[in-house]
Structure 1
Amino acid sequence: MTTLTKTEDTPAPTGPGAFLSVRDLRVQFSTEDGIVKAVDGLSFDVERGKTLGIVGESGSGKSVTNLTILGLHSKKTTTIDGEINLDGQELLSASEKEMEKLRGNKVAMIFQDPLTALSPYYTVGRQLSEPFMKHTGASKKEAKGRAIEMLTKVGIPQPQTRFNDYPHQFSGGMRQRAMIAMALMCDPDLLIADEPTTALDVTVQAQILDLLKDLQQEFGSAIIFITHDLGVISHMADDLLVMYAGRAVERGSVREVIKEPQHPYTWGLLSSMPHLGGDVNEALMPIPGSPPSLLTPPAGCRFHPRCGFTDTVGGSLCSTERPLLADGRAAACHLTAEQKQTIFIDQIKPRLG
């Protein structure tokens, strides 16, 4: 069974204006090979009407975190500790019946692959209408009217006709728009977007991002935007959380983190991206090595086996002691503030242009 326990640490106070507060979240999965420590001591806030971007490589814990918020993990194989508070309601202690009332209503999710998230057996209109009727008690006629209204808002042409189409009759971009319409049917206060533009071409991707920003302004929803693409996040987010191997390693406003990153992992992410105005013939600098196994994660800083600055810290601190992530603008790294500044100015900034 899923084990829900309070942590020994006193949770940090909810930030001003925070609609969602996550404190010391730990998520572990039982597998045949052992215990997977997918999320390990994660804390963050999301404010009303704001977008929090979460970035990191595959396996960093981004999607696991947000599936935990929605209560979608298997109860047989998952252990969850910590606190998740949504608008005053503690979610980890909520019953499945309470979570069913929240999902699709107060909290909604846009999944990465709409073709697998949408059922091929039912029309798009039915898949939009039925959850709306369940949560609001609306009639079939009222639900159809709302669905057509939302399909119109997300830019689906001929929504009255498309209402009766099946997902396979939609293009990739239209399916993603339909997923957004479904997520917004009940005016959710929190919208979780899990890499919603990964499979789309650049033009459609830009249209979807602009659509999400416009709809956020209209509905005032808080958004958690999950991606591995810092270019996308710079366009979408107000605040940014960088995750690595189940832990948060850096956070701040999106401008602060992208313009003046403080963690070696963030430096690596930015250095491995092409930049406008850069030399097209200049080789990108990938992060060496691979993410660690979360069955047996490294002690100390989990990034230290791939980090090129452990010698600057000196001794065995990086491999033995976990660096903490302070509140506000911060990076979980044993480098001193002066060392970070010197390395960034001398080595990292020239790469970024």
Structure 2
Amino acid sequence: MSTPFLSVRDLKVHFSTEDGVVKAVDGLSFDLEKGKTLGIVGESGSGKSVTNMAILGLHDRRNTALDGEILLDGKELVTATERELEQLRGNKMSMIFQDALASLSPYHTIGAQIGETYRKHTGASKKEARARAVEMLRRVGIPQPDVRVDEYPHQFSGGMRQRAMIAMALVCDPELLIADEPTTALDVTVQAQIMDLLKDLQQEFGTAIIFITHDLGVIADVADDVLVMYGGRCVERGAKNEVLRAPQHPYTLGLLGSMPSLDGPVDVPLSPIPGSPPSLLNPPSGCRFHPRCAFAEKVEGGRCSAERPALEVVDGRGSACHLTSGQKRELFADYASARTH
């Protein structure tokens, strides 16, 4: 069995605050192969972005406790120095941020910002970096790249700014690309174009991609595998089609139930998940989803509130839930039936 390109094992990211310790990520494990896309989905505050900031080493070391293991092509990142991480960021691993306008400098041209990363990691001249920036803008589908390279972010539309961010992230041909909700602020037509662009570039470069989103519809379009996070933990993971067609955790089922279906009856009411995400300063005991779970009372002995369910993974498929397989088949089928009748 081949070694995964990215391997995360029992990752914990805890922040010290005036009010106490925030357990933003609390024991997360997953693998990612080259050329594959892992979709990480969950509500705001579930730990999605914190996980990936930890991979990139962008957390504040003064108030952040990082534990566990992050191996990128065999290189340990948890114990890496800032100098080592700087050599990897933008080169071997890169990130597309959600808000391109906030992430781009208004005082520098698009070409200068793309070229800066390229010069830092390759030692290229300004002329070579500008030529590389033009090439990357052409690759991401920006018209007249030799002209637009000298323009500023405010002269670009939202979709073009996001394309410029993708060009910047890919300028050094990184082997790992982290996309943090890169299409959230865009209209649906531009969203589709950006997702198609990422898939085309992945085929060209063989890049491993982590795609962070709260939108299962986006996951269905871009991901090979899905990791569902809740309260800083993974509650379900597996191949995209398996997770979306036959969820094995009540939270995943709830996320699907709160989305309209394009291939089902149009008059089926949506079923939002009751309550709010947990405070990670003082998270619930046991399963962190149990206060909002419609099935917690079906588990005998109050285990949901007392005992943390283990994430048992077999052939890449697993969920952290105390319900038995038989209970899930019965209860989840009844839930799905109620939505379609």
1:330 maps to what in 2? 318
Q: Does 1:130 align with 2:125?
A: no
Q: Does 2:173 align with 1:187?
A: yes
Unaligned runs of 5+ in 2: none
1:193-232 deviations in whole A, cap 9, x for unaligned?
A: 0000001000000000000000000000000000000000
2:197 is aligned, of 193, 197, 211, to: 211
Deviation at 1:172, TM superposition (A): 0.4
Q: 1:86 to 1:349 in 2, by over 3 A?
A: farther
Question: Per-residue displacement from partner, 1:127-175 (whole Å, max 9, x unpaired)?
Answer: 0001101101112111111111110111111111110111111100000
In structure 2, the residue matched to 1:16 is: 2
**Separation in 2, partners of 1:311, 1:29:** 33
2:70 aligns with 84
* Distance in 2 between residues matched to 1:115 and 1:232, nearest whole Å: 22
Does 2:230 match 1:239? no
Q: CA RMSD in A?
A: 1.2
With the length of structure 1 as denominator, give the TM-score of the two structures.
0.94
Contact 2:140–2:164 (CA under 8 A) maintained in structure 1: yes
Query: Pick from 88, 104, 118: which aligns with 1:102?
Result: 88
In the superposition, the TM-score normalised over structure 2's length comes to 0.97
Partner of 1:261, secondary structure, is coil
Pairing 1:113–2:99 present? yes
* In structure 1, C-alpha distance between the alignment counterparts of 2:292 and 2:338, rounded to whole Å: 21
Shift of 1:74: 0.7
Give unpaired runs (5+ residues) of structure 1: 1-14
**CA positional deviation for 1:326:** 1.5
Find the aligned partners of 1:309 and 1:23 in 2 and give their Cα distance: 29
Is the Cα–Cα contact under 8 Å of residues 271 and 352 in structure 1 kept in the other structure? no
- Count of aligned residue pairs for this structure pair: 339
Which residue does 1:317 correspond to in 2? 303
Once structures 1 and 2 are overlaid, which stretch shifts more, 58-67 or 136-145? 136-145
Say whether the 8 Å CA contact 1:275–1:352 is kept in structure 2. Answer: no
Matched, 1:165 2:157: no
Task: Give the whole-Å Cα distance in 2 for the aligned partners of 1:326 and 1:143.
Answer: 48
Q: Counterpart of 1:315 in 2: which secondary structure?
A: helix
Per-residue deviation, 1:311: 1.4
Q: How many percent of aligned residue pairs carry the same amino acid?
A: 71
Q: Could you tell me how far apart the structure 2 residues matched to 1:57 and 1:45 are?
A: 21
**Alpha-carbon deviation of 1:76?**
1.0
| Equivalent-residue separation in structure 1 for 2:32 and 2:275 (angstroms) | 32
User: Aligned runs of 1:294-305 on 2, under 5 Å?
Assistant: 294-305=280-291
Deviation of residue 31 (structure 1)? 1.0
